[in-house]
Structure 1
Amino acid sequence: MTSLLTPRSRAENPEAPVPAMAPSAAAGFRQQARRRWVRADFITFLGWLSPVAAVSLWLAYGGASGFGSFAAATTSIGIVAGLISMDLVLLMLLLAARIPFIDNTLGHDRAMKIHKSLGKPALYLLLAHGLFIAIGYGAAEGLDPISESVSLWVNVPDMWLAYISTLLFVAVVVTSLVAVRRRFPYEFWYAVHLLTYAAVATSLPHQFSVGGLFAQGTWQRWYWLALCMATGSALLYNRVLEPIFATFRHQVTVSRVVRISKDVFSIEMTGLHLDELSGSGGRFFFWRFLAPGFWWQPHPFSLSAEPIPATATTPGKLRITVRILGEGTARLARLKPGTKVAIEGPYGMFSTAARSRKHVVMIGAGIGITPLRALLESTPFEPGDATVLLRGHDENELFLGQEIMAIAEARGVTLYHLTGPRSPKSGSWLPHSAQQAGFTLASYAPHIAEADVYVCGPAGWAGKVIDDVKAAGVPTEQLHYERFDW
């Protein structure tokens, strides 16, 4: 079944707040998007330039002269493979460093998608590096690749660390495969993934102690040193120091846990300087609750309401809404008031920063509805310019639905509740009753091609919605979604 709330005019609803959107806002959104696209092109250019620079530095060192024999050519191929592999690993680390410039340009999802896509090529090139080096060195010394590998381990300084580095990289990439990581809890995968830092650390010594390209006094050595140090500094600041600074500055503390349904609850928190977090919309934070049994586990949750700054008489307030999906989230319902909270963020592009159009369409299901509630509260639009579609098996699954309805009434939003079972045959995300009535996505949002579209919900469901959104003519740059998987 569906229910409809149509926009009301100011005359019909004089108490509704005037949306904070100037007439020039649409042009401002377009300019904002153009600037973001230029930044994205710049990041893409640097990403492609970096492996080219790695090979160019090798050529400038005289690498092209190393193809005079089979042994030399094979060794040269191995060196090039190793250089490109090292470069890709550093790019992966930078994409995962949560650098604001990258996060505010590409968004967390897209950055991590690129990060994951580089994993296999980096590993294959690393394995090719070891294989071709063993073949090339062995051919020069009259040894087979296996004997040469043993000789390198025993006789070459720091080479044993390179072998350990290779094993660590294999472990990280294998555990990152979806089919593998689904078999283990998130904490196991996260711990193994931290081995990436150990893999990089153990790969560096042999490059600087053995590789002639990195010899003392060469400017190639300084280039790679600067690149490694810059990557390490970005990781240290953004993944370690900045969260520590934010935790001490905001002093976030659990005030209460409010049950919403059998498996959904909200965690309300207080804190300092929360005005600095306003405008975060549906962006997410990593929350680490500093209590016995909780502190070691970070939880990525979006805000389900815009932060409320402190006043002279009341503290600032934050809220997240959680659905129980396992033991880890179930335990959060037992948090005690007064528990201190470490925070990282906000992250992602699920916010007004992603807007490029005057109109906006929001589509959410399950716990994915809650970030839309925060976004609906904060993003600017005129009455009639926003459409919200909430999907659930029944009204009880439209979490925070009453709050969203109140905001929709006040701000002039067209709101649909799409409830009921799906058709077992069609595979559509729409209710079976809506399909029988001939409704499509365009029936609810006829001008969707001219709107920014935000989609939030379980990964499988969101994939079907995104297919429909694209089929409706929405360009990729106007589509914004968050995935509830890791």
Structure 2
Amino acid sequence: MAGTQVRHRIGPDIECVSISLAPVSPLADPAVSSVNGFPVRRVPRWWRDFSGALLWGLVLWVTALWMSSGGLNDVGSIGGFMSTFGRLTGLVASALLLVQVFLMARVPFVEQAWGQDHLTRIHRVVGFASFNLMLAHIVLITLGYAATSPLGLWGTIVDFTLNYAGMLLAIAGTLALCMVVVTSVRRARRRMRYESWHLIHLYGYLGAGLALPHQLWTGADFLQSRTATIFWWSAYAACAIAVLVYRIAVPLVMSLTSQLRVVEVRRDAEDVTTVTVAGRNLDDLGAQAGQFFNWRFLGRSGWTRVNPYSLSAAPTSTTLRFTAKHLGDGSAALARLKVGSRVLIEGPYGRLHPGVRTRPKVLLFAAGIGVTPMRALLEALPQEAGQVTILHRVSAQSDLVLGDEIRALAAERGARYVVVDGHRMTGRQSWLPQRAAHLDDVAGLRQIVPDVAEREVYLCGAEAWMVAAESALRGAGVPADAIHVEHFAL
């Protein structure tokens, strides 16, 4: 059934194209468990609260252990004061370092509660906090010991390095962590290929591992009681097990048992490729429309480097499909993939899926290639006619990705499909094109989606555009917990 195409204006200078129909889908309740055979797995909201409480509880527990070992007993002198708080900063830095490793392990409970986008932000904040506390620990402990030692400052540094067990390993671990932190600064991150940044970031595991002997062999707060010793050994063991299981064992078993192979490589545009892979028992992956996997394709150069791509069609029991823009060497090589190539995957990840939905009305809001997970969501979301609007911002109509598929799905499912085209606005950060410069972002959004404040919003696009779009959504009255995002640049 063909859709009805309507042209309408946002103010006097910008025209939109809206495509809609009014068939009724039998599944409109956000609480349903499946639609058209596609699963809708709900994520309990208390998972996020519980995992966040665990993080703060860990910091409080570490502080309590420090206090129980006489934390404030030696603050009467300058040397004692620095040594005492050097111990505390070291303990909290170690705890936060373990939190970082745990976040990187992609434990399903935590990943489903927060999604990779929020986890990456938390990981970034926790990482810089841990690193700064680690530096404070090094400086305070060194100065504190030097203040009471006849060796002086440099003699104390040499004594630490050569005579304290595990110290050389700790120095190497600190250098590894410094490399990770430096490459995580946004300016440095933007200058690196994703594949290179991802590889360097794995040195975080090495840094944590090299710091372990120093802490457990010579750290007084690690050894001062059986409770402390059991806690720290257990915490390190839990993080190591989480990494081994969820970053190595589970993806490997999942890839081997599903036997994924490339079955189609389709060139959608000069710089856009759609890849379909097929396998067996893919229902066991637990993937939902809109989520992403980390992909590796065997038999080509650079196969060891992982690339994250969102599903651009709802997953089935036998197929997964993604669509990618050629933004780097890895994505450009997709056009040269051979049918039959073996595929390794990690995932599924992310919260752009039907299971986080809490409202009947939905806005799928995307720019450019960010529309690919929205196309999958449009296919799988339970909906009645008029409940779902998909709003796609592009530079020109010729840049529409999967446009024909989205039109057909909108017609079939009774959704509204709106395309806003035009060159990027100059002079201010905005989700609107230059032709709509006379409008503020909130007014433009409300003209297209008057009831936007009542909608659940899924948002995906380029970094700067998403910042402007999210600001407009909040300005229009959409609460933060009703906005689900997936950033390309993190």
Partners of 1:203 and 1:84 lie apart in 2 by: 14
Whether 1:46 aligns to 2:54 is yes
Aligned in 2, Cα 1:411/1:286: closer, same or farther, shift over 3 Å?
A: same
Q: Secondary structure at the match of 1:4?
A: strand
C-alpha displacement of 1:21:
3.2
1:7 to 17, 21, 27: 21
The code of the aligned residue for 1:348 comes to G
C-alpha displacement of 1:280:
0.9
Partners of 2:247 and 2:259 lie apart in 1 by: 18
Partners of 1:328 and 1:385 lie apart in 2 by: 37
Whether 1:335 aligns to 2:342 is no
Alignment check: 8 A CA contact 1:250 1:274 kept? yes
The code of the aligned residue for 2:478 comes to V
Whether 1:456 aligns to 2:457 is no
Structure 1 stretch displaced more, 274-283 or 151-160: 274-283
Number of the residue aligned with 2:112: 104
Alignment check: 8 A CA contact 1:135 1:144 kept? no
Partners of 2:439 and 2:57 lie apart in 1 by: 53
Alignment check: 8 A CA contact 1:279 1:378 kept? no
User: Any idea what the Cα deviations from partners look like across 1:185-208, whole Å, max 9, x if unmatched?
Assistant: 223322221211111111111222
C-alpha displacement of 1:142:
2.2
2:353 to 328, 343, 351: 351
Partners of 2:187 and 2:31 lie apart in 1 by: 48
C-alpha displacement of 1:181:
2.1
**What is the TM-score of this pair, normalised by structure 1?**
0.91
Number of the residue aligned with 2:474: 470
Number of the residue aligned with 1:221: 229
The code of the aligned residue for 2:387 comes to D
Question: Number of residues paired by the alignment?
Answer: 467
Structure 1 stretch displaced more, 151-160 or 224-233: 151-160
Partners of 1:247 and 1:80 lie apart in 2 by: 43
User: Any idea what the Cα deviations from partners look like across 1:228-285, whole Å, max 9, x if unmatched?
Assistant: 1111111111111110011012111011211111111111111111233466111000
Partners of 1:386 and 1:348 lie apart in 2 by: 20
Map 1:269-418 to 2 at 5 A: 269-277=277-285, 280-309=288-317, 316-418=318-420
C-alpha displacement of 1:422:
4.1
Aligned in 2, Cα 1:168/1:275: closer, same or farther, shift over 3 Å?
A: closer
Alignment check: 8 A CA contact 1:364 1:456 kept? yes
Whether 1:152 aligns to 2:141 is no
Alignment check: 8 A CA contact 1:365 1:398 kept? no
Q: Secondary structure at the match of 1:55?
A: helix
Aligned in 2, Cα 1:391/1:23: closer, same or farther, shift over 3 Å?
A: closer
Identity %: 36
Number of the residue aligned with 1:442: 446
1:161 to 169, 174, 180: 169
Alignment check: 8 A CA contact 1:32 1:356 kept? no
Map 1:191-230 to 2 at 5 A: 191-215=199-223, 218-230=226-238
Alignment check: 8 A CA contact 1:61 1:213 kept? yes
The code of the aligned residue for 2:214 comes to H
C-alpha displacement of 1:317:
2.1
Partners of 1:212 and 1:325 lie apart in 2 by: 50
Alignment check: 8 A CA contact 1:307 1:317 kept? yes
User: Any idea what the Cα deviations from partners look like across 1:91-131, whole Å, max 9, x if unmatched?
Assistant: 11111211111111111100110100112221111111111
Structure 1 stretch displaced more, 352-361 or 388-397: 388-397
Aligned in 2, Cα 1:217/1:82: closer, same or farther, shift over 3 Å?
A: closer
C-alpha displacement of 1:386:
0.8
C-alpha displacement of 1:44:
1.8
C-alpha displacement of 1:212:
2.5
Alignment check: 8 A CA contact 1:253 1:341 kept? yes
C-alpha displacement of 1:477:
0.3
Number of the residue aligned with 2:11: none
User: Any idea what the Cα deviations from partners look like across 1:348-384, whole Å, max 9, x if unmatched?
Assistant: 1000122111100011121111110001111111111
Number of the residue aligned with 1:189: 197
C-alpha displacement of 1:423:
4.2
Q: Secondary structure at the match of 1:118?
A: helix
Whether 1:67 aligns to 2:75 is yes
Q: Secondary structure at the match of 1:135?
A: helix
The code of the aligned residue for 1:259 comes to R
Alignment check: 8 A CA contact 1:278 1:306 kept? no
Aligned in 2, Cα 1:157/1:276: closer, same or farther, shift over 3 Å?
A: closer
Number of the residue aligned with 1:21: 28
Whether 1:484 aligns to 2:474 is no
Partners of 1:22 and 1:416 lie apart in 2 by: 23
Partners of 2:215 and 2:433 lie apart in 1 by: 59
Aligned in 2, Cα 1:222/1:139: closer, same or farther, shift over 3 Å?
A: same
Partners of 1:74 and 1:268 lie apart in 2 by: 59
Structure 1 stretch displaced more, 221-230 or 127-136: 127-136
Alignment check: 8 A CA contact 1:304 1:321 kept? yes
Alignment check: 8 A CA contact 2:286 2:348 kept? no
User: Any idea what the Cα deviations from partners look like across 1:428-470, whole Å, max 9, x if unmatched?
Assistant: 3223455669971111111111110111111111222111111
Alignment check: 8 A CA contact 1:420 1:431 kept? yes
**What is the TM-score of this pair, normalised by structure 2?**
0.90
Partners of 1:23 and 1:108 lie apart in 2 by: 23
Unaligned runs of 5+ in 1: 11-17, 310-315
